[in-house]
Amino acid sequence: MKHAQPTSFSVRPSACPGLLRIVQAKDGGICRIKLPCGRLGSMQARAVAAGANAHACGVIEATNRSNLQIRGVKAGAEQALIDALLAAGLGAGSPGADDVRNLMVSPLAGLDSSALVDVSPLATQILGLLQDKSHFHALSPKFALLLDGGEAMAMLEHPHDLWLSAMGNGNHAQFAFGLAGCPPRSGDDTPALAAVPRAQAPALVEAVLELFLELATPEQTRMRHLLAGHPPGDLLLRLQQRLEFPLLPAGDWQRPAPQPFAHLGIREGRHVGGAPTLGRLNAAQLIALADLADQQGDGSLRLTPWQSIVLPNAEDAGAVLRAMQDLGLATDAQEPLARLIACTGSAGCAKGLADTKADALALSPLLPPGAVAHLSGCPRSCAAAHVAPFTLLAVAPGRYDLFQRGGEGFGRLLSRDLSIQEAGERLAASPDTWSSTP
């Protein structure tokens, strides 16, 4: 595989970090490493750890799009870090493709026996399409796709610009698809637009991206922006006109619910998942996980959209689980830190109104069993692409408004201007509103 050479490429401006575009934050530079389908080899993991130690402050974050990012990159060390990561094979096939590798699949794609379809070959085709067609490099770094094979471990709440989800199985499988949303799981959800046979899924993706780039203005960077001026029916008609095969009706298809917290603990006796505290790893933890992958697994790790890590194909899953626990990773949904999400907060972000990481640690012993909460330092909600069952939105240092999911935005306002102690008490007083959904 060829790797990008940053010395001969001018990185386009954007507020989004990338491997080649290190963006400054309050705590230093941020380098985001986009992993194909969330997959990371053990040697690559060691390279990330070494880079974080040598060129940054040693903090590594698992993101909600199954990627990694290095925080606190030192001034003047940016190019050295980029070069080290590229040498480890962590770049795209061409420099312009780094931004557009936003394809989400299940962390157990190809390994989940309950899946309808092994989407790994399709994912490879779609990633190749995004990387090899240079005009697709004009897509926003936030433009994102979902390819769902019907796995039990699946994130279905993150809205995607284009989603495809398996209907049926084997050679007769079809993929339902939709724009600017999520696969429907109930009658209240927006239904799929249509469906295509499995073999035609790459052609559909290419046609959708071509149509988006043809119709979108420079200000319309996401599919939801385009839909504001082009109704779904209009886009579907335009799409059909450029396809050589008929789009199929998806009917009232609904995607069965995935298993809650399937990313934690042992799955199918050989895949082991653990969540670092509030999504953050240090270099020593990542090196230890890489060693575990070599000693007990197949030499690979898989990042998840729950800011956690799965070690697949473990020879002794119990030993891996205990090792993860010894490293400080949460491996059970009963652990409060497994049910808390927190953004960088004011310690590392100029927009943060509160130190959300520290406040989440303070909230963890107060969090009632079963409650799932997200602490957000500002309304941008960087740490969670979906709306959590409960959101604590910072209004001042150590003070939060509490929302319950439902309706617009973060949901229904429950209480204003709470301290962390008061937030814990308010959550404990409302057990009927808790949710076990991760």
Provide the pairing of β-strand 390-396 with 399-404: antiparallel
In the prediction, which pLDDT does 5 show?
41
15-97+259-332 has which CATH code?
A: 3.90.480.20
Report phi then psi at 53, rounded to 5: -75, -45
**pLDDT at residue number 10:** 55
Closest CA to 104 of 49, 149, 74: 149
- 15-97+259-332 and 337-433 share one fold: no
pLDDT at 170: 73
Q: Is 202 exposed, middle or buried (0-12, 13-18, 19+ CB in 10 A)?
A: middle
Which CATH code, of 3.90.1150.10, 3.90.1570.10, 3.30.450.20, 3.30.413.10, is assigned to 337-433?
Answer: 3.30.413.10
Q: Please, are residues 19 and 55 in contact by the beta-carbon 8 Å criterion?
A: no
Each residue's pLDDT expressed in tens, for the chain with a length of 438 residues: 334 444 444 566 677 899 999 999 999 999 999 999 999 999 999 999 999 999 999 999 999 999 999 999 999 999 999 999 999 999 998 878 999 999 999 999 999 999 999 999 999 999 999 999 999 999 999 999 999 999 999 999 999 999 999 998 777 899 999 999 999 999 999 999 999 999 999 999 999 999 999 999 999 999 999 999 999 999 999 999 999 999 999 999 999 999 999 999 999 999 999 999 999 999 999 999 999 999 999 999 999 999 999 999 999 999 999 999 999 999 999 999 999 999 999 999 999 999 999 999 999 999 999 999 999 999 999 999 899 999 999 999 999 999 999 988 999 999 999 999 999 999 998 655 555 455
Question: Per-domain residue ranges for the chain?
Answer: 15-97+259-332, 116-149+156-242, 337-433
Pick the CATH number of 116-149+156-242 from 1.10.3720.10, 3.10.20.340, 3.30.413.10, 3.90.1170.40: 3.30.413.10
